[in-house]
Chain A
């Protein structure tokens, strides 16, 4: 369970090129991307990331189709490095959603009216406490609760902090068995 303050980003189709422009993808590390987050948009002093009222926010509340476009996991790393723990939006790009789950940034799908209500409340009260409860799969503010969907398996992985590769390697015998039965006409690169 995480309780923090939230930042409104009332824009739709926030593609991963906006979250991290390509110029920052030349780095070979997976941390240190906070300076790249929304790099073009934050050049505008009025952009919400520059608004001291939302400093320290750990939850981002965005419009539909958040994280569409490029598969760059750097987008998740940048959000996480900035300090976000969850993104709330009516919908997410598929690859972004998977990447977020890989890295422990919770993608929370909320109905459009809930997001609109949060934007309005946050405009009036930037320090509004928002709770994202992974165990109960709920978002709560004072007096209001919204359930959100999350696959059991993803929830379990996040709660246990499990390493995906190690989990899969528990089934190494099944992988080897599958490999033995692959047809011989399948291509190799060698």
Chain B
């Protein structure tokens, strides 16, 4: 994990949660070498795996542990129909995954399966994302699974091939960081706002080289969905992984899920999971503290996730920024976003609203948006897409009547996938279109060439759809 020595004298007594999970997975440690780390769960999707399977095939190698490898189709899949994929290039990529999984014995959830969905949503749903595991995937948002107290991080395609072949990775021991969130999140704010506030505070490189543990009362009071949102965005401030120590909330989420242990194994697992806490007196390499009481609904104004301010604020003036790199980035960002300094964020109109993604595509997110949309209409001229994170989320939402709420409001109810988070399927922004999005990245062109993205929470997304401009639910009549 980047430029660190493996063996290091550590201050303090005891070990941190990241260190405990790391230590339990070291297959081999040697001076001057990265550790050889065992991987408990390898998640695979169609985009970053074809070249890795080719590497295996060329060398005549097999998948070492198909029983620890799970694949799904998520990035390319259409969300308007479960029929065949129309785009031939997307179809070829998905068919390549199907062929690779069939040949090498990897379990795959295909488009149309009850368990298909975004890789980071289904891992938790199936009960596979468990405390203390090492989880990797060729996808930066693998950090999501850290919500369970797993050490979960994104890897490149060469590393995907390495894990397929060996079930291990060579990694330098990362530095550790504690982010302690004190107090309570105010009403109307969510884990997404907390994540955006952290990214804005710490910067896109603030966590570089570190595995972070989120702690404190505001983190402990988050639901598992909220913890997943927070851990998911760890990579947006540069952290390699984000973790939350498992507790009763974690165990309650896991119990009874298909791949969670049961019976005597559940008790044995619980004993282990309860040990996965940072010891009193253990020292982190870095620490940061945030008062949750200061978090407000956040929105990004620029083209990286750290360019974010409270919705109550205005578009900043680059001239006020002291760091020259930040200043020139802000000038570029405002030109791309078509925004002028001093504009109130609430005066920014939106053309499209996207509710979904591995950040905010779970049932709790859909409920929050539906709560805002109930009895209201999406503003004329605004297109709102609601894309559940998985087929199971879609089914659960249907069971409680959420699609009817979205339909009555004039929003489009879709099938599961990554969709407009990165626009690899047909769900893209047109050049110049402005989108309030519950996804994780506002990079230039992320949601379609020339598209402009404002990252927001699900309630703010829904309120913005109704208002036709960036808005919080409390801004709406009757809100």
Contact = CB atoms under 8 A, between A and B. Distances in A.
B146 interface: no
B443 A175 contact: no
From B133, B158, B423, name the one whose CB has the most chain A CB atoms within 10 angstroms: B158
A151 B34 contact: yes
A168 B3 contact: no
Interface in A120-160: 149-153
B32 A153 contact: yes
Contacts of B33: 153
Given A18-B443, A40-B444, A73-B48, A94 B238 contact: yes
A73 B159 CA distance: 10
A97 interface: yes
B154 A71 contact: yes
B70 interface: yes
Interface in B408-466: 422-424, 441, 443-446, 449-450
Contacts of B59: 165
Interface in A153-184: 153, 164-165, 167-169, 171-172, 174-175, 178-179, 182-184
Interface stretch (B87-95, B288-296, B354-362): B87-95
Interface in B339-386: none
Contacts of A27: 89, 93
A76 B158 CA distance: 11
A167 to B, nearest CB: 8
A185 B268 contact: yes
Contact of A26 (B159, B172, B424): B424
B159 A168 contact: no
A95 B155 contact: yes
A22 B74 CA distance: 14
B286 interface: no
B69 interface: yes
Contacts, number: 214
Interface in B28-71: 28, 32-34, 36, 38, 40-41, 47-48, 50-51, 54-55, 59, 61, 66-70
Contact of B162 (A168, A171, A184): A168
Given A11-B329, A175-B27, A189-B69, A65 B444 contact: no
A26 B156 CA distance: 15
Interface residues of B, number: 86
Contacts of B75: 22, 25
B283 interface: no
Interface in B146-164: 154-159, 161-162
A100 B185 CA distance: 40
B332 interface: yes
Contacts of A189: 41, 67-70, 107, 128, 259
B156 A102 contact: yes
From B51, B75, B165, B443, name the one whose CB has the most chain A CB atoms within 10 angstroms: B443
Interface string A57-76: 00000011100111111101
B318 interface: no
A83 interface: no
Contacts of B47: 25-26, 72
Contacts of B227: none
11 contacts: A10-B328, A25-B424, A68-B204, A73-B156, A102-B158, A168-B168, A172-B166, A179-B167, A182-B40, A187-B128, A189-B68
Given A69-B140, A94-B240, A185-B269, 13 more contacts: A13-B304, A15-B304, A26-B92, A30-B54, A40-B445, A71-B139, A94-B209, A169-B166, A171-B28, A171-B36, A185-B261, A187-B128, A187-B259
